[in-house]
Amino acid sequence: MAARADAGPLSFEDICERIRQVGTSRILPTAVLVGSLESAEVRVLAHLVRCRASGFMVLLPALEKVLAILEQLVDGDGDSLVVQKEVDAPLEDARGRRFGSGQMVLVDMPAECAAHFVRTPALPGNAAAGLLRMMAQNSIARPSMRGAHQAAEVWISELAEADEFLLEYFTAGEPEMHAEVPSPAQSNVSPEVVQQLQARIAQLESQQAAPSGGLAPVVDLELRPHAAGRSVLFAPGTVSGAVPPGTLERLRSLAGPLRLARTEALADENPAAQQAFAGGGRSRGRGISGAQCWRSR
Domain boundaries defined on the chain:
12-172, 245-295
Listed residue (273, 275, 280) closest to 294, CA to CA: 273
200 vs 266, higher pLDDT = 200
| % of the chain surpassing 90 pLDDT | 37
Q: Where are the alpha helices (DSSP H) in the chain?
A: 12-20, 64-71, 126-129, 145-159, 168-172, 191-209, 245-255, 257-269, 271-277, 290-295
Of residues 158 and 163, more confidently modeled: 158
| Structure confidence at residue 102 as a pLDDT band (50, 70, 90) | very high
The least confident of 1-10, 79-88, 231-240 is: 231-240
Supply the pLDDT for residue 142: 93
Report the pLDDT averaged over residues 132-160: 90
Instruction: Kindly report, residue by residue over 171-187, the tens digit of the pLDDT.
Output: 765 434 333 444 545 55
Task: Specify the higher pLDDT residue, 281 or 261.
Answer: 261
> Could you tell me the maximum CA-CA distance found in the chain, to the nearest angstrom?
132
pLDDT at 168 over 50: yes
Residue 291: the pLDDT is 42
Does residue 50 register a pLDDT over 60? yes
Contact by Cβ (8 Å): 151, 159: no
Long-range contact list for 144-147, CB < 8 A, 24+ apart?
A: 144/26, 144/89, 144/90, 144/91, 144/92, 144/98, 145/22, 145/25, 145/26, 145/27, 145/28, 146/26, 146/90, 147/89, 147/90
What does pLDDT average to over the chain?
A: 74
Q: Reply yes or no on whether the pLDDT at 248 is more than 80.
A: no
Q: What is the mean pLDDT of residues 47-62?
A: 95
Is the torsion defined by CA of 115, 87, 49, 92 positive or negative? positive
Amino acid 167: pLDDT: 77
3-state secondary structure of 104: strand
pLDDT at residue 262, as a whole number: 58
The pair phi, psi for residue 239, each rounded to 5°, is: -115, 130
Mean pLDDT of 13-28: 88
What is the SS3 assignment for 267? helix
Of these ranges, 69-83, 178-192, 237-251, the one predicted with the greatest mean pLDDT is 69-83
Confidence bin at 94 (pLDDT 50/70/90): confident
- Is the CB of residue 80 less than 8 Å from the CB of residue 71? yes
Please report which confidence band the pLDDT of residue 18 belongs to, taking 50, 70 and 90 as the band edges.
very high
Report how far residue 19's alpha carbon sits from residue 96's, in angstroms, rounded to the nearest whole number. 19
Banded pLDDT at 124 (limits 50, 70, 90): low
Task: State pTM to two decimals.
Answer: 0.56
pLDDT digits (tens, 9 = 90+) for 266-286: 556 556 555 554 554 444 444
* Residue 139: per-residue pLDDT: 87
Residues 6+ apart with CB under 8 A from 149: 49, 50
Task: Give the per-residue pLDDT at 231.
Answer: 47
Neighbouring residues of 120: CB distance < 8 A, sequence distance ≥ 6: 30, 31, 32, 45
For residue 134, what pLDDT band results from cuts at 50, 70 and 90?
A: very high
Give residue 4's pLDDT band: very low, low, confident or very high (50, 70, 90). very low
